[in-house]
Amino acid sequence: MQRNINSDHIIIKAEQDGVQVIGLTRGSDTRFHHSEKLDTGEVMIAQFTEHTSAIKVRGKAKIISSYGEIEAGK
């Protein structure tokens, strides 16, 4: 399968209430375009897209991607 900007998924599992998953815009202007709140145990599966070049996670969460696993908020 051809890899493109739409092929990468990341999984975010909240380990506390109020974890924020923030999408940042692609292109010369880098800004927040979407913020999602997750409570404990909630999972979000997100992609990098035409509109999203970076994802910021605020709070205690497990992040799983093809690069491995990392804990945010420790």
- Closest distance between ligand TRP and the C-beta of residue 21, in Å? 5
- Closest distance between ligand TRP and the C-beta of residue 31, in Å? 12
Cα–Cα distance for residue pair 33/61, rounded to 1 Å: 21
Q: Does 21 bind ligand TRP (CB under 6 A)?
A: yes
Query: What is the bridge-based pairing of β-strands 52-58 and 9-14?
Result: unpaired
Cα–Cα distance for residue pair 43/55, rounded to 1 Å: 15
Contact positions with ligand TRP (CB under 6 A) in 35-74: 36, 46-47, 49, 51-52, 55
Residue linked to tokens 């992040």:
63
- Closest distance between ligand TRP and the C-beta of residue 39, in Å? 17
Give how far the C-alpha of residue 6 lies from the chain's centroid of Cα atoms, to the nearest Å: 13
Contacting residues toward ligand TRP, per CB under 6 A: 21, 23, 34, 36, 46-47, 49, 51-52, 55
